[in-house]
């Protein structure tokens, strides 16, 4: 299936082969590849896949830690018209098999990293699989010819040889499983067009270019990691790749390779700052020029800390979702070329949160249409989006119910102000029904997080016989703060239920939204691999263990 006028993510390869012909396009430990070497690797794999029998529309799954080989595989699969279906290496074996039962891949590609589900996987567990390729080891094919190494699959390619790329039906490029905070992951089918348009938006708004040295912090099995990697490939930048995010290895890579750009989620940013504050108190990362944050808003304090450690970086935040091919809206939090004015503007917006009823996540990207489906123009409603970035459907399903007349229901609640900024209130499925009123946990969390003694908070609703649900706030205290006993509330660096209730009132939080109880949370909050709170797990733990938790307040 050839369609030469349609976008294809492999159209970046000719640029890489010339722009970075003799300079590194990937740095993976001690392994460096020039643009030409990287392109030859992709082409060799593409030829091998064709000889193996991969056809347009065939699904190929990948489960591995980040590496240059992962990038080559993803491009090679789509080059020949295959559909790449990255699988989360952190899944359990049953969850991975369940995802493959949905995607029905003919080929599985894994690496040799121990301790993950793919290290104990058997090919006969999934009926659709015909082959299993080991990405980073040298093994001969087994007796059935089903298991072999990448190097045995690759075919030498003459530099003068040409191979036209192919398209899968509907222009599908990847099946990206959602990192949903509840329920079973679903495979969103993302097209070449969506990925190309998303990449161009990031190049335009984040300002990625050929001089960028980009550190991979997000896993390549998630849409944030995939879309940013493709944007850098299309811009012609250099990729610095570590297997997975760890604050120490990321900090080391930034220093060693003079990294200019990276993406984060709030937990990553907090870990980077905490690690470097302890280990390198006076060091600043002067080379970093661009940081894009996703997976949740950064607190004002975290923004200030980021500016301290990355003083020359433009700091942006994005709101998005897998079904929208990553980022939908963008907002600049800090721009060093404008001094501290941008931060002050951000502070003003944060201070107005309780009045606005949400968090400002900026304006839509150039290719995105947004609207709010509300009863009244100025009232909150469900956020709808449309544009070439929108998924085709969920794999194995017909066009989804939430995608009507081109508009995709995001499942989020928000409103758009007079300046075109989107204010995010919360997830519709997370809302708490208390005394007949709707309460969105995020708006309560935003108010509580402004207290100087609170490090992080998660708000949930638990069943109540009178009110249907009551609001409970789980809080983590900052270092140097403690929970005050009755009669000692006036002590410095102390908190209590009464203090927090008064604080919420002072911040004009509506009375029925103020938490009825508070739970001191001493362990890390459960998170998805993209840094989203597993609110369902928090709620379950509060319901199951409230009586036995010694930290109950």
pLDDT in tens, 15-55: 999 998 889 999 999 999 999 999 999 999 999 999 999 99
> Nearest CA to 85 among 369, 394, 365, 541?
394
The string over 223-244, giving b where at least 16 C-beta atoms fall within 10 Å of a residue's C-beta and e elsewhere, is bbbbbbbbbbbbbbbbbbbbbb
> What does each C-alpha distance from 489 to 182, 482, 483 come to in angstroms?
38, 10, 9
Residue pair 44/72 in contact (Cβ under 8 Å)? The answer is no
Domain 9-191 matching CATH 3.40.50.12780: the answer reads yes
DSSP string, 489-553: TTSTTEE-HHHHHHHHHHTT--GGGS-SEEEE--SPPPB-TTS-B-HHHHHHHHHHHTTT-TTB-
pLDDT confidence of residue 529: 61
Query: What's the pLDDT tens digit per position in 73-120?
Result: 999 999 999 999 999 998 888 889 999 999 999 999 999 888 899 888
Three-class SS state of 394: strand
> H helices within 104-239, ranges in order?
150-153, 192-205, 223-235
Q: What is the CATH number of domain 431-545?
A: 3.30.300.30
CATH of 359-428, one of 3.40.50.11290, 2.30.38.10, 3.30.479.30, 3.40.50.720: 2.30.38.10
pTM of the model: 0.84
What pLDDT shows up at residue 90?
A: 87
In this predicted model, what pLDDT tens digit does every residue of 351-366 receive, in sequence order?
A: 444 344 578 889 999 9
pLDDT in the model for residue 140: 59
| Res 434: pLDDT | 86
Q: Is 150 helix (H, G, I), strand (E, B) or coil?
A: helix
* DSSP character string of 270-339: HHHHHHHHHH-TT---TT--EEEE-SSPPPHHHHHHHHHHSTT-EEEEEEEEGGGTEEEEEEEEE-GGGT
- Residue 530 is predicted with a pLDDT of 61
Cα-based distances in Å from 278 to 274, 283, 291, 299, 307: 6, 11, 22, 21, 17
* Cα angle value 340/345/351 (rounded, 5°): 125
Res 280: pLDDT: 64
**What angle, rounded to 10 degrees, do the helices at 35-52 and 68-79 form?**
50
Report the C-alpha gap between 121 and 270 in whole angstroms.
35
Give the residues of the chain that fall short of pLDDT 50. Answer: 160, 180-182, 341, 344, 347-356, 487-488, 547-553
Residue 230 has what pLDDT?
A: 98
Compute the 3-state secondary structure of the chain and give helix, strand, coil in percent, each to the nearest 5: 35, 25, 40
CB-based contacts of 206, cutoff 8 Å, min separation 6: 231, 261, 290, 292, 314, 316, 330
The domain spans of the chain are 9-191, 359-428, 431-545
């Amino acid at each position: 299936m050839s369609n030469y006028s349609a976008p294809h993510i492999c159209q970046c390869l000719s640029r890489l082969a010339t722009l970075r012909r003799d300079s590194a396009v990937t740095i993976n430990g001690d392994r460096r590849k020039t643009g030409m070497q990287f392109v030859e690797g992709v082409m060799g794999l593409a030829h091998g896949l064709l000889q193996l029998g991969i056809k347009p529309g065939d699904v190929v799954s990948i489960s591995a830690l980040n590496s240059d080989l992962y990038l080559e595989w993803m491009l090679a699969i789509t080059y020949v018209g295959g559909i790449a279906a990255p699988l989360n290496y952190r899944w359990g074996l049953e969850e991975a098999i369940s995802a493959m039962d949905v995607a029905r891949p003919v080929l599985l590609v894994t690496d040799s990293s121990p301790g993950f589900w793919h290290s104990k996987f058997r090919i006969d567990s999934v009926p659709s699989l015909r082959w299993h390729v080991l990405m980073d080891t040298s093994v001969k094919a087994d007796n059935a010819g089903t298991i072999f190494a990448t190097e045995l699959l690759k075919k030498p390619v003459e530099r003068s040889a040409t191979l036209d790329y192919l398209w899968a039906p509907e222009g599908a490029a990847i099946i990206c499983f959602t990192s949903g905070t509840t329920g079973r992951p679903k495979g969103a089918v993302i097209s070449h067009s969506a990925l190309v348009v998303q990449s161009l938006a990031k190049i335009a708004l984040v300002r990625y270019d050929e001089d960028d040295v980009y550190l991979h912090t997000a896993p390549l099995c998630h849409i944030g990691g995939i879309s940013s990697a493709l944007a850098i490939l299309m811009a012609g930048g250099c990729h610095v790749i570590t297997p997975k995010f760890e604050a120490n290895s990321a900090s080391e890579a930034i220093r060693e390779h003079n990294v200019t750009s990276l993406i984060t989620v709030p937990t990553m940013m907090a870990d980077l700052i905490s690690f470097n504050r302890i280990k390198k108190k006076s060091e600043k990362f002067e080379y970093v020029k661009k940081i894009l944050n996703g997976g949740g808003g950064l607190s004002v304090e975290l923004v200030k800390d980021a500016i301290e450690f990355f003083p020359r970086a433009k700091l942006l935040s994005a709101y998005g979702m897998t079904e929208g091919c990553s980022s939908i809206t963008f907002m600049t939090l800090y721009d060093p070329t404008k001094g501290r004015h941008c931060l002050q503007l951000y502070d003003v917006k944060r201070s107005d949160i309780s009045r606005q009823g949400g968090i400002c996540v900026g304006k839509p990207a150039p290719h995105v249409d947004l609207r709010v489906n509300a009863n009244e123009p100025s009232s909150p409603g469900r956020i709808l989006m449309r544009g070439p970035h929108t998924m085709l459907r969920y794999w194995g399903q017909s066009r989804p119910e939430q995608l009507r007349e081109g508009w995709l229901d995001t499942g989020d609640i928000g409103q758009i102000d007079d300046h075109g900024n989107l204010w995010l209130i919360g997830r519709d499925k997370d809302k708490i029904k208390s005394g007949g009123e709707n309460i969105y946990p995020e708006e309560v969390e935003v108010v509580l997080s402004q207290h100087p003694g609170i490090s992080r908070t998660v708000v949930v609703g638990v069943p109540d016989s009178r009110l249907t649900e009551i609001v409970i706030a789980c809080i983590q205290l900052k270092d140097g703060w403690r929970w005050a006993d009755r009669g000692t509330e006036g002590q410095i660096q102390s908190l209590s239920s009464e203090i927090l209730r008064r604080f919420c009132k002072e911040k004009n939080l509506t009375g029925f939204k103020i938490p009825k109880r508070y739970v001191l949370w001493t362990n890390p909050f459960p998170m998805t691999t993209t840094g989203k709170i597993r609110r369902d797990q928090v709620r379950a733990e509060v319901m199951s263990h409230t009586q036995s938790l010694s930290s109950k307040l």
